Amino acid sequence: MSDLNALVEATKATLQRIADEFTPAVFASSLAAEDMVLTDLILRAKLPIGIFTLETGRLHKETLGMVDRIKETYGYDVALYKPETDAVDAYVKQNGLNAFYDSVEMRKECCRIRKVEPLNRALAGNKAWITGQRRAQSTTRAELAVQEDDAAHAMTKFNPLADWSEDDVWNYIRTNNVPYNPLHDKGYPSIGCEPCTRAIQPGEDVRAGRWWWENPESKECGLHVVDGKLVRIKAVSHA
């Protein structure tokens, strides 16, 4: 069993180093449990790290409600980045509202419009970005490093919770009374857009409910992928 206190201290040190050496930096929050841990650590320490989320237009109401919960709890306004209206309208007109069910290509194009393009705008002008990704989340993230060289965005990418387990996340949330998405109590360990996320059954992989109609190896939205490959080519070590 991992030592949660040691993990917390290591994560705090990583976040402080980001604030000291990589300003300006931003945290891309999905408003899920992992991201609420990082939100709590960043805002409690009053670190100069901006927090944003991608408001795709297809999120659960419970997920959007977390923006208000963060405001109520921490007095912080999470920045919302939305897709370009013209691009969404063109996709729907040409392919249909739910064309992402038809093929991996259609699904990835929807993700590109609703998530990847807004992400690029959110990251512009920053030296580093932070995610809540963990190695234990899926097979596609097994090689995740805490610090990576993100050549696609010409910046450094940090995954401060890479070493954390699911139990670590929830132990921190309960110990520190951190607000969390109520969908987690309804069988949703991993939460994305509403039509692309379902609750999982006991024993299933934590990301089994994401794009459940696809093969596991294709289950990335494109935020961490370039030319079909995970942007995880070069991990960066530091003393």
Q: Are 215 and 209 contacting, i.e. CB atoms less than 8 angstroms apart?
A: no
> Residue 131's closest CA among 164, 87, 88?
164
Task: Give start and end residues of each alpha helix (H) in 176-216.
Answer: none
Question: What's the CA gap between 157 and 61, in Å, rounded?
Answer: 29
111 is in an annotated binding site: yes
Q: Is 103 among the residues known to form the active site?
A: no
Phi, psi of 28, deg, nearest 5: -90, 100
Name the active-site residue from 221, 223, 225, 231: 221
Question: What's the CA gap between 178 and 70, in Å, rounded?
Answer: 10
> Residue 37's closest CA among 235, 200, 181, 202?
181
196 is in an annotated binding site: yes
Sign of CA dihedral 158, 189, 204, 11: positive
Q: What is the DSSP string of 140-180?
A: GGTT--SEEEETTTTEEEE-TTTT--HHHHHHHHHHTT---
107 is in an annotated binding site: no
**Known binding residues for [4Fe-4S] cluster:** 110-111, 193, 196
Kindly list the catalytic residues: 221
**Known binding residues:** 110-111, 193, 196
